[in-house]
Amino acid sequence: EGVFARGDRRLGKAIVRAWELGARFDAWSELFREEPWIQAFKEAQIDPRFYALRERSLDEVLPWDHLSAGVQKGFLRAEYERAIVEEHTPDCRWSICSNCGVCDHKTIAPQLHREPLFTAEPVKAPVSAGLQRIFPYRLRYSKIQKARFLGQLELAQVFERSIRRAGLPAAFTEGFHPHVKLSFSGALPLGLESLVEEAHMTLSENVPPALIATALNAQLPVGLRIEEVVPVVKRANPPHERRVTYAISHLSSWVMHSLVQNWRRHLHESLAKKTKKGEIRVLLADILLDVRQTGESALELDLFESDRICFRPLAILQHFSLESIHAFEICRMCKISVVPFRRDENPAAFRSQSFSHTL
């Protein structure tokens, strides 16, 4: 870089020869190779130190002297000498002219800021969206088939784009990057289907629920479908304790027998899960409420979930099976029901609700 920053036209032969030797993208440090350049300089009879390392006199003719930006060479020499003795050159916009040679004070001259001829009236702030009426809705939707492989961020993008394409009057956030006011009740694990997922959407106009469902279903991809739309008068928090039912199919005979026939015998055993805060360990009796066989290789699991405890059905299957996690790749899991949990409906299964948290 030093050679070509200070070099002249004699370096052209070295550039062509280095290219012939395979030099490519040498401005990138990870692709730079010094060998082709050393050989090219040698064949062109050029000493790189002549350009990069030697000190130049003030009277030397430089390769770029035929190029002029208006500044006279004598001024640059004077500035160099002033810099050696640490002498300050004042700004010519506010002080006297330093005679650099750029300005002729006819066609070229320093331009200073001038006061405007008039002052524009301040723009009135728009009415805040927070003062406008909003209409919240609760959406119950299903996520099945190929849609079960959509992650939570992808799912949010799909819904937001579908709302725009459907022409619904969505309400937007008031930040620097406005987004549709849309939120989801929990993130579904990748690959798990569900018939009872919930989302909350806010519109700026009152739209009939049936029209919202029809418009969105026409835009959502295959596997996502709006099952119900309910206007929200006062948004209530989801139940802290829930009874969640999962339908699982395509299970091996070993897992079916181990779960359906013997699950009550293992309620005293503990189940562990690693989280960001450490390891959570609970009794099976606290989370496994019921197991029902619904087919030759299908069953339903009733699991207890709360804000503090949430174990996926795959963790239950692995606990009752000696097989690896890959043995469950062909099974299908679908969340089919979520209802508030009542402690008096299954006291035998829900005995202690005790769990340990190990950091």
Q: Are residues 217 and 288 in the same domain?
A: no
Residue 227 sits in the same domain as residue 162 = yes
Q: What average pLDDT does this structure show over 69-86?
A: 89
- Residues 44, 49, 52, 57, CA torsion sign: negative
Which helix (H) or strand (E) element contains residue 249? strand 241-249
Contacts of 270 (CB under 8 A, 6+ apart): 281, 282, 283, 284
162, 167, 171, 175: CA torsion to nearest 10: 70
When divided into structural domains, the chain yields a total of 3
- Map residue 75 onto helix, strand or coil: helix
CATH of the domain at 221: 3.30.70
pLDDT digits 0-9 by tens, 146-179:
999 999 999 999 999 999 999 999 998 888 888 8
Number of residues written out for the chain: 359
Question: Which of these ranges, 119-128, 237-246, 264-273, 309-318, has the smallest mean pLDDT?
Answer: 119-128
One domain, residues 184 and 269: no
Q: Are residues 287 and 329 in the same domain?
A: yes
Sequence-separated (6 or more) residues with CB below 8 Å from residue 252: 297, 321, 323, 327
Residues 6+ apart with CB under 8 A from 216: 139, 162, 163, 166, 168, 226
Spell out the residues 6+ positions from residue 359 whose beta carbon is closer than 8 angstroms to its own: 277, 278, 279
79 domain-assigned:
no
Q: Could you tell me the two tokens for 253?
A: 């005979």
Residues 223 and 175 in one domain: yes
Q: Provide the β-strand partners of residue 295.
A: 298
Q: CA neighbours within 13 Å on the CB side: how many for 136?
A: 11
* Kind and range of the H or E run holding 198: strand 193-203
Domain that holds residue 20: 2-52
Are both 251 and 224 inside the same structural domain?
Answer: no
* pLDDT band (50, 70, 90) for residue 327: low
pLDDT digits (tens, 9 = 90+) for 99-148: 888 887 777 777 766 666 677 777 776 655 556 688 999 999 999 999 99
Q: How far apart are the C-alpha atoms of 105 and 110, rounded to whole Å?
A: 8
Within a domain: 248: yes
Output the pTM of the full model: 0.58
Dist. CA 320–CA 299, nearest whole Å: 14
Task: State how far the Cα of 249 lies from the Cα of 8, in Å rounded to an integer.
Answer: 77
Cα→Cα distances 235→135, 202, 216, 238, 340, Å: 11, 12, 22, 9, 16
